[in-house]
Amino acid sequence: MSVITPSQKRILAALVELYEKTRKPVKSGEIAKLVGRDEGTIRNLMPLLKTMKLVEAVPGPKGGYLPVVRTYEVLKLPRPSTGEEVFVYTVDGTRLDLKVTDIEFKDVFSPETCTALLKVIGNPSIVATGEKVLIGPVAGGRLIIEGRVVGHDDLHGEILMEVVSIVGIPAENVGKLISRRLVTIRPDITVREAARVLYRESIRAAPIVEDGKLLGIVTTIDIARAAHEELLDVRVVEIASKKLATIREDADILEAMEKMQRERIGRLVVIDREGRPIGIVTRTDILLRLLRPFLVLKRKGER
């Protein structure tokens, strides 16, 4: 097999970068502009790369050159995928012209730091050493990696970064987080009686339900406000929150988190397919689910 020179690798990397942006045949002039070479030189080199089975030529006025599977293999890039694309972002959410094709974690046994090597399509030097970046979302939109750039290799399209944090959201339904024993309150009892129920059950909120219909939700804050206004003996439904935030039991945990953030609340009433309340999911429930893997490994380590 013929040896690929650094110059040829740079041309192939430019071809892949340009192709990934448009998914169309790439002209020799476009490659020349990106690598800073004369178009005639690029045009003369492309037949050789075609002979080496590293590019495919498309004839015609709309033609040009396309990368092939071997192009990605030579550059040590994952094969082109039709899945979700992963990009590099600044910490304020600005997307950079850097598409991530592979992530390799290094120094995983180091007690002090973990680094990640990113294979990217684009110009790695657009991120400065020391700059913080976000990578993702990866794994079906469930994982975001935050890191600090340590260095970059423009020739091979690589960025080395120190991992600051990795945030992942489990792909689970809300229904798995709730207890199937739902404490409800009748609308006709007094605020004082409702307070006793919350105290007895050690909960901070309960839905008000009549004949399976959800009428509202009463929280400890509602009761404290009623006590301040000397309304402990009125019907609880009169002081309860009527604006209900609900979520289906088959909804994703991530959807629940986004809804809580959007509506600035700490709990959602979980309903079934018929709209009947079956539980409550809180921020604490979600936090404990995120914490679970750490607790499992900690217990294993203590044995």
Q: Please give the backbone phi and psi of residue 16, each rounded to the nearest 5 degrees, phi first.
A: -65, -45
DSSP 174-186: GGGTS-S----B-
Which residue in the block uniquely carries the two structure tokens 């798995």?
A: 176
pLDDT at 1 over 60: no
Are residues 111 and 162 located together in one domain of the fold?
A: yes
Smallest CA-to-CA distance from 75 within 127, 14, 135 is with 14
Sign of CA dihedral 26, 27, 28, 33: negative
- Residue 303, domain member (yes or no): no
Q: In whole angstroms, what is the distance from residue 249 CA to residue 175 CA?
A: 4
Q: How many residues does the chain have?
A: 303
- Is the CB of residue 91 less than 8 Å from the CB of residue 53? no
CA geometry: angle at 125 spanning 124 and 127, to 5°? 85
The residues near 111 (Cβ < 8 Å, ≥ 6 apart) are none
pLDDT tens-place string over residues 258-278: 999 999 998 999 999 888 899
Are residues 28 and 94 located together in one domain of the fold?
A: no
pLDDT tens-place string over residues 225-241: 999 999 999 999 999 98
Are residues 254 and 196 located together in one domain of the fold?
A: yes
- Residue 232, domain member (yes or no): yes
Mean pLDDT across the stretch 133-138?
90
Mean pLDDT across the stretch 141-150?
91
Using the 3D structure, point to which of 133, 151, 168 is the last residue of a domain: 168
Which residue in the block uniquely carries the two structure tokens 């217990």?
A: 299
pLDDT tens-place string over residues 2-55: 688 999 999 999 999 998 888 788 999 999 999 999 999 999 999 999 999 899
For the chain, the average pLDDT equals 89
Mean pLDDT across the stretch 288-300?
86
pLDDT in the model for residue 227: 95
Smallest CA-to-CA distance from 42 within 24, 21, 26, 63 is with 26
- Residue 185, domain member (yes or no): yes
Are residues 114 and 10 located together in one domain of the fold?
A: no
DSSP 121-154: ES-GGGS-TT-EEEEEEETTTTEEEEEEEEEEET
Using the 3D structure, point to which of 54, 74, 94 is the last residue of a domain: 74
Which residue in the block uniquely carries the two structure tokens 């009947």?
A: 276
Using the 3D structure, point to which of 74, 100, 127 is the last residue of a domain: 74
- Structural domain including 133 reads 86-168
Are residues 198 and 281 located together in one domain of the fold?
A: yes
